[in-house]
Amino acid sequence: MINSLAKRRLEKGEVVIGTFVKFASANLVEMIGLAGFDFIIIDTEHANFTHGEVEDLIRAAQLVGMSAIVRTSDAGEATILHALDSGASGVQVPSLSSAAEAGAVIRRAKYHPLGERGWAPGCRAGDYAYTPAKTYIEQANRDTLIAVHVENARMAADIDALCALDQLDVAFIGTGDLSQSLGHPGEPDHPDVAKVVDEVVAACARAGKHYGVVASSPDGLKAWVGRGARYIAWQSDMVMYKNALKAAMDKVAPFRVGRGEV
């Protein structure tokens, strides 16, 4: 019970567009899928979700044929297992500092012979054991997407080794945290940050490895795709909801006649 749409399209070299999900709303996830997004990234690093809520969001994404990636809060074995056993299409792991740490993530996310993931035959991802174990394990190893963040100077310096990891699908460039790591907090466009990003992009191109980014404007999205990015996180549900509310209020506010000063 794993939706591998995003991974399959990436393997064909297609651009896949998703968004970060910070609201625990299955209805909103369904609407995101019906709008045409390829995937969501359930943000358990920066938003508050229970394990049950994450599973419900994954279920909602599957209902509308959309992949559901979980951005984990850490790289722990149990954290990765909770996401994947719930049926997530993959994990996106932040706060790593070396290719060796990324290799450990892959081992925790893949079954033998690709890794050492613990096997729970009755998990949701395995169709509650209705799917034969051997079939499920082969599907999970084939279809699970693995993305790791490149968001600090140490990981960026180890980018060639990271790109050499066969089972890594996406190196996700986090320019916000990278700017902090390089001594320019809040300045993702600083020349020092841009230089490191260029080096990461070049390393991914040399290795034939996909990289991902956040895009928040059409021009920015066009530029990233032109540079070879194929895994795009378009804003977040929270940002899009906020923007829609602000746009609506800008339209209706002039009609609030008769309101006195408080």
> What does the pLDDT read at residue 139?
96
Check residue 260 and give its pLDDT: 60
What residues have CB less than 8 Å from 49, skipping those under 6 apart?
24, 42, 57
Enumerate domains of the chain plus CATH numbers. Answer: 5-254 (3.20.20.60)
Q: What is the pLDDT of residue 8?
A: 97
Neighbours of 192 (CB within 10 A): 14
* pLDDT at 262 (0 to 100): 45
Report the alpha-carbon distance of residue 169 to residue 172 in Å, rounded: 10
In what helix (H) or strand (E) does residue 233 lie, and over which residues does it extend?
A: strand 231-236
Measured CA to CA, the distance from residue 56 to residue 51 in angstroms comes to 9
Round to whole Å and give the CA distance between 203 and 93.
20
Q: What is the pLDDT along the chain (262 residues), one digit of tens a residue?
A: 788 999 999 999 999 999 999 999 999 999 999 999 999 999 999 999 999 999 999 999 999 999 999 999 999 999 999 999 999 999 999 999 999 999 999 999 999 999 999 998 799 999 999 999 999 999 999 999 999 999 999 999 999 999 999 999 999 999 999 999 999 999 999 999 999 999 999 999 999 999 999 999 999 999 999 999 999 999 999 999 999 999 999 999 999 887 765 4
3-class SS of residue 257: coil
Task: Determine the pLDDT at residue 98.
Answer: 98
- What's the pLDDT score for residue 3? 84
Q: Which residues pair with 172 in a beta bridge?
A: 149, 212
Q: What is the pLDDT of residue 261?
A: 53
H-type alpha helices, 152-190: 153-157, 159-163, 175-181
